[in-house]
Structure 1
Amino acid sequence: MSSGVLEEAIKKASIAWVAVDGGPAYGLWCMPVESSLAVVSGPGEQFAPGLAQASRAEVRLRGDHGGLIVLAEAVVTRVLPGSPEWDEIAPQLATKRLNASGTADDLVTRWVESGCALVRLTPADGAATGNPDLPSESAAEPPRDTPARVETRRPFRLHRVRKR
């Protein structure tokens, strides 16, 4: 596969599907940083089990048409608070965070205090797959169980509603 396709997919990425240790892939919002992706996860942020402790992960990126165009193995590097890399990436990533309460500086401070993990996903050399080597079958899966799903009661009606 051409590395140009991978580089272009990374530049345009705002979401990536990331799987760790053969587990399920999670859709994570991300930000391109040079030739890699920056992702934050942890308390109060997106759920990415095992990503902070992993050394490698599988990354799937979509194209302009919304379909899978690149499947790559990436090296996971944790960016530690206080490092020059953190000071460069974390504020940029905080400004890209949608629906965050407070300023970008407040968000970065919250990430540090709550122990969120900022990781950098850098594609491994020669470990990317593109067309026509991508799997032809769908990777769609049924929705996973989640505590966010709540059974709702029927709505309360003050007056009887007549059937027509």
Structure 2
Amino acid sequence: MLRSATSFLVLSLVAIQAAVASTIRPGTYLIQDVRSNLFLGIGPLLPVYPPMDVPLRLVPEHIASYEKWNVREGDDGGIIIFAGKGGPDDYKITSRDNNVIVSVQKNPETWDAQQVGGGPLVVAIKLPYEDKVFTANGGVYSEVTLQPSIGGVNQIFRFIPIERDLYHRNRFTFQDTC
């Protein structure tokens, strides 16, 4: 009896992990804070080489520093989030202590995207096996940090798929590829 209950529990956890892992598929997205409708962006960037680590920030749509984020599969059903074309000089979203940073020099970090309602692309982004989630703090240009999950609206993010590679952020931003 105990063995069948344990088997059922393990299979249930595997099914839940598979369902959570499939909420965000590989692709290109804008990532929006549900509470403020601001977007995840990089900056400010100092003109130095190699590029320094910078905080992940909330930026408005009309500012060119919000990013198109690429998502690929990571370890254990998680996701890796980065800005770039898949090369070594991409800006990867990673963590340092309780800060969410964007780094060229660090290795990519795997995140869990746990569906929280409001559609399949509305999620809490968290460190695997830890109770630390992306948390939006304040308003425009505020840093995103890692805080214990309390289910607050400032811990919920929407992934907005970009269907075309030629997407323009706005009509005043020049396209760098054809």
Normalising by structure 2, we get a TM-score of 0.31
Structure with a larger share of its residues in helix = 1
Larger radius of gyration: 1
TM-score, normalised to structure 1's length? 0.33
